[in-house]
Amino acid sequence: MTYYFIKKKLSNIVLWLTLIALAVSGCSKEVKEYKADSDERVYKILDKKWDPNTHGVKTNYKISDVEPDPQAIKIERAVPASGVLTLSDAVAIATAHSREYQIEKENLYISALDLNLTRHDFETQFFGGGSAGYQYDDVSGMQQINASPMVGFSKLLQDGTLITTDLTLAWVNILTGDFRSGLSGIFNAAITKPLLRGSQREIVMENLTQAERNTLYQIRIFSRFRKTFVVSIITQYYEVLQQYDRFKNAEDNYAILISVCEKAEKLAKVGRFPIYELDEIRQKKIQARNTIVKEQKLYRQMLDEFKLVLALPTDSEFTLDETEFIILKAKKMPEPSFLSQESVETALNNRLDLLNSFDAIDDAARKVMVAEDAFRAQLDLVVSTQTQPRAGFVSSGSVNRKNRLRGLNSLNTDINAGIVLDLGLDKSFAQWEYRNSLIVLNQTRRFYQQTQDQVKLEVRNDYRDLLEATQRHSIQVENLELAKKRFGNTMLLLKYGRANTRRVLDSQRDYLLAQNEAADASLNYAIAMLNFYRDTGVMQVKPDGMW
């Protein structure tokens, strides 16, 4: 009988605890609301830290599972109805759907999320809980239910002071006929203030300071990435068009060889063209057809690879805008009007990755300061208080108003104050951290110098590439004009039977080569200019992804 009674009481306790847990859960936010709250906090942090003058237009930075910002260009992950994907469409689709771009946006989000959590260390943190149980004394037959709900909060101040408070309510229900049941409470409060180690504000705030700077660094990294990403998309778009241009040139070359072969066959029939030379032309025609097959395969392969970059299905069918490459080939390519040294100075002032490297020196210096603080002894001032009913006093919901008023004067309040000292006689770990922080500081300084030299080298190389591309483009344009003129004259001589096979085939081969070389020179100039703008840091990415 006792077993079933105890089992029933335990079941009641479990039921009540379950109801309390469900009630508390019902008052809390839903999981989706926590996600929305995180998004709001994160983007508020990013919006505040984002400087449009330094980091560019604040757009296309929200992760894919939240509403896009109003400035973002909405672009569907689909090919236009025309079946022609323009350069601007390709860049817009890439910035909206590229997997690589999504990862960088998520890295930016995570850095701000980490900062929000670190800031929470200095916010008021509430906690609550409790316990309940059933007790039975087989000797006396006494039975009782104990319940102790508890609530409180803690807060860390910027000077290292930790404040903690909690209120524990002890409720006892006697089940043996002794109805002196009641509710009593214990209020605890404690203040711990460091006096030596960890007492400086800079030491206490170091984790938060680093988290703030990490978020700023990630914004710079993302801004730099957007520039390199846009350049890579434009470059790959032009490279696919260049390959398509080579494929079309190969087709034109084959068509010309067919025409040459037909003319040679007519001349051979009347004895004005040697048969062995006609066979050579026929062989070149077969080789030209084989070239078409290879160039077309490479074009389709490069187009499929470009689809992957854009996060488009590889079986989606579209073509790129040929007009873009035609315009590119027709452009004049002037030499740069600025000096190499001016370009280097511009990069040193604008490059965000270099700025991150420079600021990292300050981070490393603060870590040295934190390591130095660890050598000091720990001396904490601790003040605590505890308030609870005096022994023998019971406060019950059934007592009258007079007894309740008497109860207010029947409280014990204990106040304790003291100090806690830790001399920290074992300095091994502190010694390791300090020496390691000094080494890291020196490494960080060297890394900044290396990054600075690397930036200078990149810009100087970009400048040389730009000069070379300008000169090479001028040479190849002239070469194309001469090759075209020479081929025209050779074909005219062939018409009258005054040109041999070697002259015809050589002029045709040189003309095809000149076409491809001229197109390659135009592309190299465009890429060199894009790389130059990117590496000097002057490129600004627009909301649609263009620059």
Position 394 in a domain: yes
Position 81 in a domain: no
> Helices 206-269 and 501-536, interaxial angle, to 10°?
170
pLDDT value of residue 1: 47
Of 52-61, 237-246, 523-532, the poorest mean pLDDT is in 52-61
The band of 442, judged by pLDDT with boundaries at 50, 70 and 90, is: very high
Position 447 in a domain: no
Residue 172 has pLDDT above 70, yes or no: no
**Complete edge-to-edge strand list for the sheet that includes strand 143-156:** 125-136, 143-156, 162-174, 182-194, 378-389, 411-422
Position 141 in a domain: yes
pLDDT value of residue 315: 85
Residue of 362 and 396 predicted with greater confidence: 362
Neighbours of 7 (CB within 10 A): 11
Residue 379 has pLDDT above 60, yes or no: yes
The band of 396, judged by pLDDT with boundaries at 50, 70 and 90, is: very low
Position 234 in a domain: no
pLDDT value of residue 544: 63
What tens digit of pLDDT does each residue of 118-148 get? 999 999 998 887 777 777 777 766 777 776 7
- Pairing status of strand 182-194 against strand 378-389: antiparallel
Find the Cα–Cα–Cα–Cα dihedral 198, 201, 206, 209, rounded to 10°: 170
What tens digit of pLDDT does each residue of 180-214 get? 555 566 888 899 999 999 999 999 999 999 999 99
The band of 541, judged by pLDDT with boundaries at 50, 70 and 90, is: confident
Mean pLDDT of 327-332: 88
Position 191 in a domain: yes
What residues does 173 pair with on adjacent strands?
145
pLDDT value of residue 178: 46
pLDDT value of residue 543: 67
pTM value?
0.83
Domain count along the chain? 1
Position 183 in a domain: yes
- State the average pLDDT for the chain: 83
Domain that holds residue 187: 123-156+161-197+379-422
pLDDT value of residue 397: 47
Mean pLDDT of 305-321: 90
* Cβ-contact 277, 264 below 8 angstroms: yes
The secondary structure element, H or E, covering residue 266 is helix 206-269
Position 395 in a domain: yes
Cα–Cα distance, 14 to 19 (Å, whole number): 9
Across 167-171, 253-257, 525-529, the highest mean pLDDT is recorded for 525-529
pLDDT value of residue 497: 64
Structure tokens at 239: 């490279």
